[in-house]
Structure 1
Amino acid sequence: MTSSTSPAPTSFLAQIRHMRDALPPSEQRLGDFILNFPGDLASYTASELAALVEVSNATVTRFVRRLGYDGYEAARRHAREERAEGSPLFLEPLREGAPEGSIEAHVQRAQQNIAATFGALDEAMVDAIAQAIVRARGVWFLGHRNNRNFASYLRWQLAQLLPRTQVIPGAGETLGEYVADLDADDVLVVFALRRSPGLSARFAEQAIAGGTRVLYVTDPRSRAPAGAQWVVRCHSSAPGPLDNHVALMLLCDLLATRVMAQAGAAGRQRLSRVEAAHDALAELRPER
């Protein structure tokens, strides 16, 4: 059975790995090349790829059809889709000494990401988010994979100012256990940038249905759940295959600063109590 896009709801590379040992030697060589440099399939024509691997055009045709595609272009479309979704395997690593890997190139890209991200924000929106967070009964933070780090970081900043903040789910827990806890008095902050599991969006939709206000932080390409009160799209492109999260960290800093301003005297009093506890416990004193 063939398809004009992908033969099965699985990754392009997973299909090659699954069939690799059963392939003829020339096709194994082609498969190994693609597994090591999958971005080349998205970039090159069939003839160019055949020349790179030193196989015939017919070998390339047999290979993609064995995977279940109608032809090379269908396989290349699938590879392009996976590259767009953010897999670093589909992005070419920078060569040592390449100008794209210089300090200046990274700084310039970070500045571009900041400009693109914050150019879509306005002061009123940021203040509305901060005000909602301060007034919420509880503030919940969610992020899967690398997004968990950003959720934890923003929660750590705000926990010094607000009494009821939590990153979910906890160890050994599932998100379903939290659906009943969320209501219209809460704010849910979701980080769902690049290759975030769909579970984050589904949980946000459940929270929205229950009346919870949701701040959904994602990337320019990903879908945001309908009904999210605020959607912020952070740009994270980089000179190399790994993401540049400078704009996202700046967003966290901005939100924490605005929340502190909105929290007023109550926030500063809590911060003072936290600092007094640090002193009493000698938690932050270096050992002498």
Structure 2
Amino acid sequence: MPPTDEPSASFLARIRELMDQLPPTEQRLGRFILDFPGELASYSASELAGLVGVSNASVTRFVRRLGYAGYEEARRHARDQRSAGSPLYLTPRPAGAPADSLAAHAQAAHDNIAATLRGIDEAALEAIAQAMVQARAVWFLGYRNNRSFAAYLRWQLAQVLPRTQVLPGPGETLAEYAVDIAADDVLVVFALRRSPAVVSAFAQRAAQGGARVVFVTEPSATASAGAHWVLRCHTAAPGVLDSHVALMLLCEWLATRTLVAAGAAGRQRLAGVEAAHEALGQLRAVRGDGAADL
């Protein structure tokens, strides 16, 4: 079992390593603790079970899988980490408002942003922006809800980067793109909750081929697909749906820094796009009365 003076990462790493092997009930418990590890230090086993909606027996089995003799030993370890000042243990759950209130959701978004930014190196984000500017092509990958994030970031960057694409296209498979990704490309992968296994497999293949892979996922993710950069976004929310405010902030920051890093070439492309808009008349100016100028 882990000694109490181990780094905080060792405790969370044990959960990440076991996540894929846990039954669904214990996976839910693991995800909750990864989002808010300080809760383990603050509550009894019964209180924690009630917060997550699992049985006391599930909590007991979970901590024993981590190598602890019982819940109290695991809680002492978490308390030691919190006392040592680990920021991961200082993020509270939203409190003081009903779970379905606007205030509770706003508090969750605030906490997710703070926790996400604490875990991301700004220098790494700057390096990603530079890599995307220098890349031959930038590809964006995401399935299910993740596709909307991939499409959003690609849409922002397409204004200054000459070759961008979301994968796969309608009716296409990832295999059809496997031979197109080159060593001087960047692949941005969104792989948050319940991302299909093929996403990690494709990212791994791209990384092995020399492409620089940015892997955007959640704190409980166990795999990084051999990525050069791994960005973990906190998405906990009071309700049944995840909060993606922190993720959208991350996309906004990446897009902004990439626009700056694109320099004169990026501004020239942006100017060309605007000139084409004007020439094609696709974007109509709106008058003060709300009507479009025809």
TM-score, length basis structure 2: 0.65
The equivalent of 1:268 in structure 2 is 267
Identity of aligned residues (%): 62
Instruction: Give the paired residue count.
Output: 207
The equivalent of 1:33 in structure 2 is none
1:275 deviates by 0.8
1:222 deviates by 1.4
24, 43, 49: which is aligned to 2:54? 43
Q: Which amino acid is the alignment partner of residue 43 of structure 1?
A: V
Q: Distance in 2 between matches of 1:44 and 1:225?
A: 31
Listed as ranges, the gaps of 5+ residues in structure 2 are: 1-22, 26-49, 63-96, 285-291
User: Are positions 1:193 and 2:204 aligned together?
Assistant: no
Q: Which amino acid is the alignment partner of residue 180 of structure 1?
A: V
Listed as ranges, the gaps of 5+ residues in structure 1 are: 1-9, 13-38, 46-71, 78-97
1:227 deviates by 2.3
Q: Distance in 1 between matches of 2:159 and 2:112?
A: 29
The equivalent of 1:175 in structure 2 is 174
1:172 deviates by 1.1
**SS of equivalent residue, structure 2 residue 262:** helix
1:287 deviates by 6.0
Q: Which amino acid is the alignment partner of residue 100 of structure 1?
A: A
Cα distance 1:159–1:280, how it changes in 2: closer, same or farther (>3 A)? same
1:100 deviates by 2.0
User: Deviation string for 1:259-282 (max 9, x for gaps)?
Assistant: 011000110111111111111111
Q: Which amino acid is the alignment partner of residue 165 of structure 1?
A: T
Q: Distance in 2 between matches of 1:224 and 1:216?
A: 10
Q: Distance in 2 between matches of 1:130 and 1:243?
A: 26
Give RMSD over aligned pairs: 2.5
1:129 deviates by 0.3
Structure 1 contact 218–224 (Cα < 8 Å) conserved? no
**SS of equivalent residue, structure 2 residue 112:** helix
The equivalent of 1:206 in structure 2 is 205
Q: Which amino acid is the alignment partner of residue 213 of structure 1?
A: R
Cα distance 1:250–1:40, how it changes in 2: closer, same or farther (>3 A)? closer
**SS of equivalent residue, structure 1 residue 238:** coil
The 5-angstrom pairing of residues 17-28 of structure 1 reads none
The 5-angstrom pairing of residues 72-221 of structure 1 reads 99-221=98-220
Over alpha carbons, which structure has the higher Rg? 1
Q: Distance in 1 between matches of 2:52 and 2:231?
A: 33
**SS of equivalent residue, structure 1 residue 181:** coil
**SS of equivalent residue, structure 1 residue 115:** helix
User: Deviation string for 1:103-131 (max 9, x for gaps)?
Assistant: 21111110100011111112211110000
**SS of equivalent residue, structure 1 residue 99:** coil
Q: Which amino acid is the alignment partner of residue 193 of structure 1?
A: L
Cα distance 1:170–1:109, how it changes in 2: closer, same or farther (>3 A)? same
The equivalent of 1:284 in structure 2 is 283
Q: Distance in 2 between matches of 1:140 and 1:157?
A: 13
Structure 2 contact 201–225 (Cα < 8 Å) conserved? no
Structure 2 contact 203–226 (Cα < 8 Å) conserved? no
**SS of equivalent residue, structure 2 residue 237:** coil
Q: Distance in 1 between matches of 2:208 and 2:134?
A: 20
> Which 4+ stretches in 1 moved above 4 angstroms?
39-42
